[in-house]
Structure 1
Amino acid sequence: MIGADKDGDKGAVAPKHTNRLIKEQSPYLLQHAHNPVDWYPWGEEAFAKAQSEDKPIFLSVGYSTCHWCHVMEVESFESEQIAQLMNEWFVNIKVDREERPDVDKVYMTYVQAIQGGGGWPMSVFLTPDLKPIVGGTYFAPEDKFGRPGFKTVLKRVKEVWTTKKDALRESGEQVVQQLAEATSAISTSQDLPEGIAQQAVQLCANQLTRGYDSNQGGFGGPPKFPRPVEIALMLQRYKRLEQNGKESNANKALDMTLFTLRCMARGGIHDHVGGGFHRYSVDEYWHVPHFEKMLYDQGQLVNVYLDAFAICKETQYAVVARDILDYLRRQLNHPEGGIFSAEDADSAEYHGATRKKEGAFYVWTYQEIEDILPEVSAAVFASHYYVKPDGNCNLSRMSDPHNEFTGKNVLIERQSLAETAEKVGHSVENVAEILGGCREELYGFRQRRPHPHLDDKVIVAWNGLALSAFARASRILQKEPEGMQYYFPVTGCNPKEYLSAAGNVASFIRAKVYDEKAKRLFRSYRKQPSAAQGFLDDYAFLIAGLLDLYEAGGQTQWLSWALDLQSAQDDLFLDKVGGGYFSTAEGDPSILLRMKEDYDGAEPSGNSVAAINLLRLSSLLCGDRSEQYQRTAEHLMTVFEARVRDMAMAVPLMCCAFDMLAVQSKRQIVIAGVKHAPDTEALVNAAHSLYDPDKIIIQIDETDGADRDFWKANNPMALKMARRSDEGKALAYVCQNFTCFAPVSDPQSLEQLLKSHPSAPAKVSTFKLGSSSK
């Protein structure tokens, strides 16, 4: 299929080359559709060619916003000379890791095993039957720094395949067998060892604390990744210590967590002008990032900033959460309601430029700041955001090792508002207002620059994370910060708009990538559903988001869908004998390994999220279904118990699930009232106002037929309890350990009740929620 592209406008210059990727939906694959490399997508056509011609496969895996993927494309895949070698000696397959995480995971596990680490682009050579031969990540085109270049690697693999083909096949078989043995987690018991559930969060917190950076925040050295699961774990540790009366230790855990959140927000990893967070910083200061913005980061970060705000009630945390959400609505929102995947790190420095440069859209020269902003404002802004005439990317030797940002500034707050105010001789309020106006002015200027590439596919799993963030924010962020001019890129809105955004995400996923008849998800959407079916994380993350959407909005349609998805997830991925969930469904012979993933990294593990979902669902329902969810969660955790004991910091969210299991029952808050009535809304807001990892919120409107039918079928005791007062006012019932406090009707009383220790009820009713009454 190599040849000129005849399509397009008559006046446009046709690309010199076009390959099979032109027929794909993935933005990443489409980026490579005009390479001289004869790329194939992952599929039978490529496999059959490799088999019939007895050629090894070169597999290249990446994603559309990956900086080093772009570098390798420009250096190697656009090279006619290198493409000729690739096309002559190999069958070349290009995979989008976001579209096919199953393919990526198999070969990334191999690369990590042989190299001790991995990353993207991932470059792996395979036998025609898909067994790995050798692999790595980015290769420069020529030999450099003692490392073989890509041309050298191509030649060596070709030579070895020609001379030692049988040995390579045998080695590939052995590698796959070893990987299968190493990744096959099976539990022979459905009972967890004594004490591990109670110890998990402490084990993980202790390990994270040993790596805590007391100077710059975070739980490790550079490069600095925002890993929200670590924050979630430390906040859960804080809560347990507080509940046990260990106030000093609780405050230490909280202080580390809040300091980390503040450092991240002040750093260059945070886009101060446009909102949202970049992927990670290369230095210890959270300063110079790789500039791609990924949706999976945004949703998780919103949730931990929301938790911090719920604990401290400090505006700074609410502002960051709003900043991210408003960025998503402004820049990544699909017109029909879903959320796009990512924005690229690279962009053109000026309109008409043929090459892109990392960070070009985001960095500033000192002269630009002076030219764009009024003189007084520019001085205040430069002082606060560490803008220097010679550039500011020299805080660390790691910040700009290749001198790519000489003379450029990545905005970072190196001092507080009070310190800036003292330096420039203004009040704090005046400085805040000046800076807000400057950010808005710079945003308008930046919008005229060439924009980074937008990856406009909608991934179900990542939308589940965003859905959760929007839903929770709609209740936790009830009060808009005063003086909105101080907080741009926060645009300011009624929190109900966030609830509407959450509903729009859920509706989009259901309409576009859900097969109602089969009750199955597709992985993603771009113009049409992807060929790939949904994976474990698509189901688990979406279920989690729907549970949050139900707790925020009270619509049982989302809870019903979550139950359908949980049934589908169990059918497709659950290991009913060994426990836990496989990441992929059965049936695809091209996937050599079905693995039970546990690592809570940039994205949480599907198993960790699934465990928490099961415990939440068990607490919402009663009867056989509730007990089955509880048993499935416990069996899942037995699979990963050894991992928690040996390396808890690798699985922070799984540790949170263990901790939830240790709580005898979740604190159930039943709110009985007419949906959307002011008194009901006030109680729902109060129920969400405090940080409590043990709570579950059940909204029941006895006047609503759908509510009555759902709860009659799934938890009749909750329905029996859900009565308004004699005056018709909404009531809140707080229950734990199957006993319930006397109901309250005003939000202040509810907040006070929720602040009290759950093990010390004042007065109880005779109801036992989710069980039969005494």
Structure 2
Amino acid sequence: MPNRLADATSPYLLQHADNPVDWWPWGPEAFEEARRRGVPVLLSVGYAACHWCHVMAHESFEDEEMAAYTNEHFVAVKVDREERPDVDAVYMEAVQAATGQGGWPMTVFLTPDQEPFYFGTYFPPRPRHGMPGFRQVLEGVNAAWRDRRDEVGEVAARIRADLAERASVYGVGSGVHEVPGAEGLAAAVAELGRTYDEKWGGFGGAPKFPPSMAVEFLLRHHARTGSAEALAMAGHSCEAMARGGIYDQLGGGFARYAVDNRWVVPHFEKMLYDNALLLRVYLHLWRTTGEELPRRIALETADFMLRELRTPEGGFASALDADSLDEASGKNAEGAYYAWTPQQLAEVLGEQDAAVAATLFEVTAEGTFEHGSSVLQLLSDPVDEIAYERIRAALYEARLKRPAPARDDKVVAAWNGLAVAALAETGALLDRPDLVEAAERAADLLITVHLGEDGRLLRTSRDGRAGANAGVLEDYADTAEGFLALYAVTGGAEWLGLAGGLLDTVLTHFRDEASGALYDTADDAEELIRRPQDPTDNATPSGWTAAAQALLTYAAYTGSERHRTAAERALGIVGALGTRAPRFVGWGLAAAEALADGPREVAVVGAEGDPGRALLHRTALLGTAPGAVVAVGEPSTSEVPLLAGRPLVGGAAGAYVCHHFVCEAPVAEAAELAAKVGARTDRNGGA
């Protein structure tokens, strides 16, 4: 049997390369084979860090009899949702519409024309808990295909028509909505408050996901309006997550979500995108409040990313698995790497430090996780900081001896763009030049491996080798966001130029000219049964609103009305959704806050190496004005429009604060600039 997955760049596909199931990668060849044989397609979608994907693989796809039946009656196609978010989005929408829920692994049966007609997620090998067994499902679908083909065709056609109707919701008429103004943004904060968990932070109930995009919106709203409510929701949520089990109290970094509403028990996979987004949120919270906790969490998260996710090529891997080997049972188990029993703590720490640890972390005989084990939560601030750090270090070193979770080491352009932005800003504001260097190196990888000479992005790479999948909208938008952040931090004009090239591709290939709406795939991408399009946030900012934010930032640097108008038209959809579902358009609301504030444009001029210029530059970066852009360079000589024609101020370094390139009188003192951009003046070595 040919091994068609052996050369994949996706670790998830490689995990299935030796299955007895005769997997095909997604592509026209698989559907042509189904057409030739006259059989349906079994589409299985998952990702490498997915716990239940591993379970179904072990139970069903590694089973010889199940595989033989599958191979006889179906063409089996395996897709990594992180490599092909377009394929995942189209069929997940169908699954959710048909079943009312979704998730991974996603199991869909298709006609050879890619039309779905039966759906599900995880299926056990045999019936249990009201779920049919996977063999039952295979036999039922095969019987329907063999004996009721006309009925299957009617169902498939009806589903395809329904998907087409859904696709028109955002594409038609999105341009008629207005970007939310002050009243709409305040209403969005009020709606967030209605679903806010006042006791435990975050929004809604279990499972509870880190609300990074909503928190960014709340911080920007507070900066623009002074809203105490917005800052309280943001700060409380961040503190609750930082003290909870969702945060790795020993090694830093956040898990994907909490299965409970108190942030106690995480789903243990650690994703690059979550940590990049949360790193930036905690940095911005520190920039707003000056408190030590968000500063510490930001630095620990950045260190986690460099230590455990950075690849030899300088990019950042996608995820760490939830599962690892439990040495006691000899089997893979979720959370085995992270959970502790009281006995284990005592063995590592000794009696005295174990007693101190019991005052810091909730570890009881009953446990907060499984089999009497607990996930560490920080119950109280340490009284003895030295003892606290000693205990953390001892437990961390002991944990390193456990079998570690596997790493999905593919590099995804969008998520690396988010990491570049977060690391660049953190390095600049917290005096960690190594983080800025790491951001630049990751950006270089995106340029040399992912970005073609034609200016088009490839979505993934692994071991420095690019995958074959075209970049989607979020890849262009988030990579541009990373390059723009690097420009703000370093002043290297090449980053601004690269961001502009990516955003021009967005306007040319991803935008509907008539409505201003944005699509997730390019107009020349592979044609699916519908062209995916979604302005709502999921685990990451939607490509739509991420592009709007990047377009707005680029326009503020360059004065380009084309880019600003495109951003405003794209943000119209936020006016329609922001007051009804603010949790799911947090990034769009954050971009709307930037638009409501201008955004402010700060040009810092002075000779390179001038301490006065460096202080003004740092002060500008510390500003909390929503979405403010910062340019730094030599006076009057820069090709960057925001810097052009800006002379020194009384022969010294100076700063110009502008709106739409109309500037206030320049200042030469950091304190004056701080007042104009909302920067705190109690930062060591800065404003």
Q: Give the TM-score, by structure 2 length.
A: 0.95
Alignment pair present for 1:518 and 2:447: no
> Residue 457 of structure 1: SS of its match in structure 2?
strand
Paired residues of 1:187 and 1:638 also in contact (CA < 8 A): no
| Equivalenced residues, count | 678
Letter in 1 for 2:386: E
- Post-superposition shift, 1:639? 4.7
Alignment pair present for 1:749 and 2:672: yes
- Post-superposition shift, 1:167? 1.9
Instruction: Select the residue among 210, 214, 218 that pairs with 1:234.
Output: 218
Paired residues of 1:204 and 1:652 also in contact (CA < 8 A): no
CA distance in 1, matches of 2:449, 2:556: 30
Match of 1:692 in 2: 625
Instruction: Select the residue among 663, 667, 682 that pairs with 2:600.
Output: 667
Q: Which whole-Å deviations, capped at 9, do the CAs of 1:722-741 have from their partners, x for residues lacking one?
A: x22454x3211222365433
Cα distance change of structure 1 residues 376 and 442 upon mapping to structure 2, 3 Å threshold: same
CA distance in 2, matches of 1:238, 1:754: 13
User: 1:677-716 maps to which residues of 2 (within 5 A)?
Assistant: 677-702=610-635, 708=638, 710-711=639-640, 715=641
Alignment pair present for 1:442 and 2:395: yes
Letter in 1 for 2:323: D
Match of 1:397 in 2: none
- Post-superposition shift, 1:202? 2.2
Match of 1:412 in 2: 377
Please say which of residues 105-114 and 443-452 is displaced more in the overlay: 443-452
CA distance in 1, matches of 2:99, 2:164: 18
Cα distance change of structure 1 residues 588 and 541 upon mapping to structure 2, 3 Å threshold: closer
- Post-superposition shift, 1:327? 0.3
Alignment pair present for 1:498 and 2:435: yes
CA distance in 1, matches of 2:280, 2:376: 24
Match of 1:488 in 2: none
Paired residues of 1:666 and 1:695 also in contact (CA < 8 A): yes
Alignment pair present for 1:382 and 2:358: yes
Instruction: Select the residue among 111, 114, 132 that pairs with 1:130.
Output: 114
Cα distance change of structure 1 residues 689 and 240 upon mapping to structure 2, 3 Å threshold: closer
Match of 2:182 in 1: 198
Please say which of residues 358-367 and 738-747 is displaced more in the overlay: 738-747
Match of 2:685 in 1: none
Q: Which whole-Å deviations, capped at 9, do the CAs of 1:724-767 have from their partners, x for residues lacking one?
A: 2454x32112223654333222323322343499xxxxxxxxxx
- Post-superposition shift, 1:190? 4.7
Q: Which whole-Å deviations, capped at 9, do the CAs of 1:230-262 have from their partners, x for residues lacking one?
A: 1112222323331xxxxxxx2122112111100
Match of 2:541 in 1: 604
Match of 1:303 in 2: 280
Please say which of residues 93-102 and 498-507 is displaced more in the overlay: 498-507
Instruction: Select the residue among 131, 139, 142 that pairs with 2:126.
Output: 142
CA distance in 2, matches of 1:382, 1:126: 54
Match of 1:368 in 2: 344
- Post-superposition shift, 1:169? 1.7
> Residue 221 of structure 1: SS of its match in structure 2?
coil
Cα distance change of structure 1 residues 283 and 37 upon mapping to structure 2, 3 Å threshold: same
Match of 2:41 in 1: 57
Identity between Structure 1 and Structure 2 (%): 39
> Residue 22 of structure 1: SS of its match in structure 2?
coil
Q: Give the TM-score, by structure 1 length.
A: 0.84
> Residue 594 of structure 1: SS of its match in structure 2?
coil
Cα distance change of structure 1 residues 738 and 508 upon mapping to structure 2, 3 Å threshold: closer
CA distance in 2, matches of 1:349, 1:239: 47
Letter in 1 for 2:291: E
Alignment pair present for 1:331 and 2:308: yes
- Post-superposition shift, 1:647? 3.1
Please say which of residues 291-300 and 32-41 is displaced more in the overlay: 32-41
- Post-superposition shift, 1:146? 1.9
Instruction: Select the residue among 635, 639, 642 that pairs with 2:576.
Output: 642
Letter in 1 for 2:171: I
- Post-superposition shift, 1:690? 3.0
Alignment pair present for 1:565 and 2:502: yes
Paired residues of 2:619 and 2:673 also in contact (CA < 8 A): yes
Q: Which whole-Å deviations, capped at 9, do the CAs of 1:117-152 have from their partners, x for residues lacking one?
A: 211110111111110011111111111122212111
Letter in 1 for 2:437: S
> Residue 107 of structure 2: SS of its match in structure 1?
strand
Instruction: Select the residue among 178, 184, 208 that pairs with 2:162.
Output: 178
- Post-superposition shift, 1:645? 5.1
Alignment pair present for 1:574 and 2:491: no
Cα distance change of structure 1 residues 675 and 108 upon mapping to structure 2, 3 Å threshold: farther
- Post-superposition shift, 1:263? 0.5
- Post-superposition shift, 1:270? 0.4
Letter in 1 for 2:274: D
> Residue 615 of structure 2: SS of its match in structure 1?
helix
> Residue 699 of structure 1: SS of its match in structure 2?
strand
Alignment pair present for 1:262 and 2:185: no
Match of 2:266 in 1: 289
Q: Which whole-Å deviations, capped at 9, do the CAs of 1:549-584 have from their partners, x for residues lacking one?
A: 111111101001001111122222111223221101
- Post-superposition shift, 1:115? 1.3
Match of 1:718 in 2: 643
Paired residues of 1:579 and 1:639 also in contact (CA < 8 A): no
Letter in 2 for 1:64: A
Match of 1:492 in 2: none
CA distance in 1, matches of 2:402, 2:174: 59
Letter in 2 for 1:229: M
Letter in 2 for 1:525: S
Paired residues of 2:364 and 2:374 also in contact (CA < 8 A): yes
Match of 1:115 in 2: 99
Which fold has the larger relative contact order, with Cα–Cα distance below 8 Å and residues 6 or more apart in sequence? 2
Alignment pair present for 1:452 and 2:385: no
Match of 1:655 in 2: 589
Match of 1:507 in 2: 444
> Residue 724 of structure 1: SS of its match in structure 2?
coil
CA distance in 1, matches of 2:626, 2:650: 32
Q: Which whole-Å deviations, capped at 9, do the CAs of 1:275-300 have from their partners, x for residues lacking one?
A: 10000111111011111000000110
CA distance in 1, matches of 2:434, 2:518: 35
Paired residues of 2:257 and 2:266 also in contact (CA < 8 A): yes
Paired residues of 1:620 and 1:698 also in contact (CA < 8 A): yes
CA distance in 2, matches of 1:82, 1:456: 30
- Post-superposition shift, 1:31? 0.5
- Post-superposition shift, 1:381? 1.1
CA distance in 1, matches of 2:462, 2:588: 32
> Residue 373 of structure 1: SS of its match in structure 2?
helix
Paired residues of 1:506 and 1:546 also in contact (CA < 8 A): yes
CA distance in 1, matches of 2:345, 2:628: 48
> Residue 271 of structure 1: SS of its match in structure 2?
coil
Letter in 1 for 2:496: L
> Residue 386 of structure 1: SS of its match in structure 2?
coil
Letter in 1 for 2:572: T
> Residue 125 of structure 2: SS of its match in structure 1?
coil
> Residue 374 of structure 1: SS of its match in structure 2?
helix
Match of 2:564 in 1: 630
Letter in 2 for 1:754: V
Match of 1:423 in 2: none
Paired residues of 1:732 and 1:744 also in contact (CA < 8 A): yes
- Post-superposition shift, 1:702? 3.7
User: 1:26-65 maps to which residues of 2 (within 5 A)?
Assistant: 26-65=10-49
> Residue 436 of structure 1: SS of its match in structure 2?
helix
Please say which of residues 113-122 and 564-573 is displaced more in the overlay: 564-573
Q: Which whole-Å deviations, capped at 9, do the CAs of 1:458-487 have from their partners, x for residues lacking one?
A: 100000110110111123224xxxxxxxxx
CA distance in 2, matches of 1:649, 1:225: 11
Question: Gaps (5+ residues) in structure 2?
Answer: 681-687
> Residue 81 of structure 1: SS of its match in structure 2?
helix
CA distance in 2, matches of 1:188, 1:182: 13
Q: Which whole-Å deviations, capped at 9, do the CAs of 1:38-66 have from their partners, x for residues lacking one?
A: 11111122111100011011100000000
Paired residues of 2:20 and 2:67 also in contact (CA < 8 A): yes
CA distance in 1, matches of 2:664, 2:239: 38
Paired residues of 1:203 and 1:648 also in contact (CA < 8 A): no
Match of 2:683 in 1: none
CA distance in 2, matches of 1:445, 1:197: 53
> Residue 718 of structure 1: SS of its match in structure 2?
coil
CA distance in 1, matches of 2:678, 2:414: 33
Letter in 2 for 1:135: F
